[in-house]
Each structure stands twice: as structure tokens, then as C-alpha cells.
Amino acid sequence: MLDLSHVVFRRNDFTLSADCRFTERITGIFGHSGAGKTTMLHLIAGLLRPSGGKIVLNGRVLADAEKGLFVPPHLRRVGVVFQEPRLFPHLSAHANILYGSRSTGANFDEIVSLLKIDYLLGEKPSCLSGGERQRVSLARALLSLPEILLMDEPMSFLDFQLVSDIIPLLETFSRRFDIPVIFISHHLNQILQLTRRIVLLEKGCVAASGDLPDLIFSGGVLDLLPGLELSNVLKLSVLECNSHAGQAVLGKPGRSVPVLFSHLDRLVKGQSVTIEVRPEDIALGTATVESLSIRNQLKCCITRVTGSRTYSFVEIDAGFAGLTLIAKVSLPAREKLGLSPGRECVCFIKQSEIRILGTGEPEPPEKHQGCEGSENA
């Protein structure tokens, strides 16, 4: 567990003051550029010295400004994957990975194999692509067996496909090696693929921390982050693939009712798939519409509603399908339809608005909780 207690850091006009705890296996730090995300990470890693407060990792004091205590970075066992891979250019990928390794050969083989970098071990960093470098950097950090792994926007320079490949592995590694991860990004959907536990930074302060939907519906966050681009990230299974129709049917494993129709795009029956649907791409209605081209029409129940001056976020629960979604609707629409907690409604999602973030091995089936049914007109 990582504890930042009244930590203060000042540089020129910028002041970071952080008071928060990281207790989850994976926590995301989200904030706009200049919010202080990287500064916070550098304070935890020991690359910057706080002028106030205390940083404690698993009961070990890493920095205590009042007592003048400061553990240098090499003694902290805090691993960092930086935005840029920072590989040592004079060493091969293999030597880079082993630099600082505290791990066994078996771990090396496993990590290298999972990250699919075994073919490039003899290469120098300058011969590697951006994605390969970042995977080597990740392997290097993991093999040093840190007590906590900090990731500072590690996917910034990677293309969409690479991000899709790497993100599921982070979760695997975190669980497999029991290393808590703090993942920094200004792409909320990247964080939401890993965790809903979030620390929101704004202008050098911790604006809020906790489960993201809870933060949104408890109010305040929308005013703090007016430009917040929310995202519904769902992990589903490919239940059917209809190549003739060019579409796939997605659902929760073990549930008999399909929930979403998606484009077939590189999907295979049985595999798990992570999709993204933006709240503004979900429409809400009071009844299913047979004469509508949108085939994804899910009966659901409104659980929470919150809003700013111009729009509302509505949390809907399609319990039969094991889904919770957040939709964004205008204030007049909300009033007109009477969208309030407890109200039953139908959500409409166009196939083309379902974005596939990544695919993986089949997921184990969930315990069945009973289904009502869905309309797939």
C-alpha cells in the first residue's frame, strides 16, 4: 500500500499537493496536461524530493520532509515505465532487460514470451520499433521485481494496435507477479481498460479519488473536469460470428442472451473482447423501436443520474446481460423522457459506435444471475 500524506512539491509557479492512498492492485492517475501526474510519479519514485509531507510504501517511509528523510530511488524498489522507453543505447535488448533484474530465469522466459520479445533480444535499442522498445522497457521494470510499478503514460507513442496488445498484459503481470500498478494517462479509456479506481489530478491537487462512476455520480467531478471524456469499457465474449452478415454477437460468457451486435472486424468466436462505447453514442428511449435500423436495443434500468448545466450522465443497468453503462443525454431529453433513478428504459447503440479496443483468450464464464431478455430487432 502506498500512502502520500500531505505531500508538497514546489517548482517555479507550480505546486503539487497530494494527499491520497493507493490500496488497489491497479490504480489510474488521470488529469489533463500540466495537472502534476508525472511530478507525482517522480516524487514516489524518488526522482524528486518533496518539500513537505510523507511518502510511505508498505509501511516503509520513503520520504519524510519534516525529519529530512529521503530514500534515494535505487533503494526504493519502485519500478518505473516511463513515457519514452529510456533503454540504454549501448546495451542489447537482452542486457537492458537484465539490468537490475532480481528475478529468476523462469520469470525472464515467461515475461519475454508473454511480451513476444524473444526474437529481438540480441538487437540494440536503435534497431527496435517504438512498440518493441516499450515492451523491452516493461520487461526490464518487471524483472527488477519492484514493490510497486509506476507507468507514466507508457502508451503515448504507440499505435492503437500495440496499446490493445499491451494493456491486457499489464493486468496479467500485475496479478501474476503480485505487483501493484499505478497507471498514469490522459486517455481515460486506457485507464478504464485496467481499472475503475482513479485518482483525479487537477492543477496540482488531488481533486478526487475512488471508483470513477461513484465519483461522477456523487457530483463535483464534472465541474472540476468539464472536458472529461468518459468512456464505457466493457469486457465481453464473442458468442457468435456471422461472416455472411459481417457481424459478431457479443455477450457475457455463460449468459444465454446476446447483448451487442458488432462488426466482425478481426473477431473470432469464443475469444474475449474489450470494447469501448462512448456515453454520447448511447441513446435512451422509453420503448424498443421495431422500425429502427439500430439493432442493439437493450432493456435496462436507470440507477443513477447526474448532470452539469448542459448535459446529464445517466447510469443504466442491463442486469440480465451483466452490463452497466453510462449514457450522456441533453437536459431537455432527460426532462422530456423523465429519466430518473428506478425508471426502466431502452438504450440504443449503433454497431458502428462500438469500438474494439482489444481481443484476448476466452474468459471464464461468470455465475449466472438471471436474465430478462433483450430486443435485437
Partner 1 sequence: MAPVFSGAEIEVILLSLKVSTMCTLVNLVPGVITGYVLGRYRFRGRQLINALVHLPLVLPPVVVGLILIELFGSRGPIGKILAGMAINIIFTWKAAVLAAAIMGFPLVVRSVRTAFELVDRRLEEAAATLGAGPFKVFFTVTLPLSLPGIIAGTLLSFARSLGEFGATITFSGNIIGETRTLPLAIYTYIQLPDGGSAAARLALLSVLISVLAVLLSEYLSEKVLAQRGVHNA
Residues that bind partner 1 (CB under 8 A): 45-47, 72-80, 82, 84, 86, 88-90, 99-100, 102, 124-127, 140-141, 144
Measured from the CB atom, the residue of 46 and 131 that comes closer to partner 1 is 46
* Least CB distance to partner 1 at residue 91 (A): 8
Tell me the angle at which helices 105-114 and 130-143 cross, rounded to the nearest 10 degrees. 150
| Residue 127 beta carbon to partner 1: minimum distance, rounded to whole angstroms | 5
CB of 290: closest distance to partner 1 in angstroms?
Answer: 59
Residue 206's DSSP bridge partners are: 201
Q: Using the 8-state DSSP alphabet, how is residue 225 labeled?
A: -
Which amino acid does the sequence have at 103? S
Residue the block writes with cell 514493490: 147
Q: Shortest Cβ distance from residue 2 to partner 1 (Å)?
A: 15
How far apart CA 279 and CA 326 sit, in angstroms, is 6
**127-163: buried (b, 16+ CB within 10 Å) or exposed (e) per residue?**
ebeebbbbbbbbbbbbbbbbbbbbbbbbbbebeeebb
CB closer to partner 1, 41 vs 169: 41
Nearer to partner 1, 127 or 377 (CB): 127
Looking at the Cβ atoms of 77 and 235, the one nearer to partner 1 is 77
Distance, in Å, from the CA atom of 200 to the CA atom of 37, rounded to the nearest integer, reads 9
Min. distance of Cβ 114 from partner 1 in angstroms?
A: 20
End-to-end Cα separation, the chain, in angstroms: 49
Taking the least distance from each CB to partner 1, the nearer of 71 and 257 is 71
Shortest spacing between CB 178 and partner 1, in angstroms: 18
CB-side exposure of 158: number of CA atoms within 13 Å?
24
